[in-house]
Amino acid sequence: MNIFFDLDGTLIDSRQRLYQLFQSLVSTSDLSFDKYWELKRSKISHKEILSSKFNYSEEQYMDFEKRWMSEIESEKWLKLDIPFEGISDLLIHLSKNHVLFIVTARQSESIALKQVKSFGWENIFSKVLVTQQQQEKHDLIKNIAQINREDWIIGDTGKDIQTGKLLGIKTAAVLSGFLSKESLLSYQPDIIINTVLDLEIDKITNGKL
C-alpha cells in the first residue's frame, strides 16, 4: 500500500517559520503567534489580514506576496521547522510494510530534499514529490506511482483532500497544520485526526476506516 504524506503541517511543524516571516515582512504587526494562527486556521488569507488590519493597498500586498515567496524557503526561516514529536519512529514503522511518499507544494525540490535529509528521512521515503509551484499534486502522484483505492493521502489542507478524491484514494486530514476542524470538514475527508500519530496502523494496514 502507498501512503502519501504532505510535509508542512503534517510531518513537520512549520508554524513558527510562517509566523516569524510574516512578522518580519509586516513591521507594524502586533499579532501574537496564537492570533495569527487563529486567523489562518479560519481560512483568512494574508491579503484579507493585511487589508483589514494593516490597511495595505493592492500594491503593498503584491510586494508582500513577492517577498514572502522569495523568502519562505530560505535557510534562515527553514531552520525553524521541526518534525512533530514521534513522527520519525512512526514513519520507520510504517515503511516496513508500506511504500511512503512525501508530496509537497514547495517551490524548490533541492531545498525540500535537503531538509528531508536533515531529519534523517532520506531512506524512509520512496520518493519526495515537489510541485515546484508548477504541477498539481495529483499529477505528480499518478505519474510516479501505481495507485489503488486502498492507498492513503494524509495532509492538513483542503488541497490534500481534493487531491486524494481526484485520485480515488482514502483521505486523512490532520489538525496539526494550517486549517481548523471546521474548515477541513467542508472538504469531506474520510477521517480527521489530531496528528499523524493518531493514525490507527491496523486499520490502515487492512485498508479500513
Which residues have C-beta within 8 Å of that of residue 24, sequence separation ≥ 6?
71
Q: What is the mean pLDDT of residues 127-142?
A: 93
Q: What is the mean pLDDT of residues 151-171?
A: 95
Q: What is the mean pLDDT of residues 71-90?
A: 96
Q: What does the alpha-carbon distance between residue 25 and residue 23 come to, in Å, rounded to a whole number?
A: 6
Q: In this structure, are strands 170-174 and 191-193 parallel, antiparallel, or unpaired?
A: parallel
Given this model, what pLDDT does residue 202 score?
Answer: 54
Residue type, 97: N
Is the per-residue pLDDT at 46 higher than 60? Answer: yes
Given this model, what pLDDT does residue 203 score?
Answer: 59
The answer to whether the beta carbons of residues 77 and 21 sit under 8 Å apart is yes
Q: What does the alpha-carbon distance between residue 190 and residue 173 come to, in Å, rounded to a whole number?
A: 8
What Å distances lie between residue 188 and 37, 139, 201, CA to CA? 22, 21, 21
Residue type, 8: D
**pLDDT tens digit string along 117-130?**
999 999 999 999 99
Going 7 to 10 to 16 to 22, the CA torsion angle's sign is: positive
Q: What does the alpha-carbon distance between residue 107 and residue 134 come to, in Å, rounded to a whole number?
A: 8
Q: What is the mean pLDDT of residues 1-14?
A: 96
Given this model, what pLDDT does residue 40 score?
Answer: 92
Is the per-residue pLDDT at 5 higher than 70? Answer: yes
Is the per-residue pLDDT at 205 higher than 60? Answer: no
The answer to whether the beta carbons of residues 193 and 199 sit under 8 Å apart is yes
What Å distances lie between residue 125 and 12, 29, 45, 91, 93, CA to CA? 15, 39, 32, 9, 12
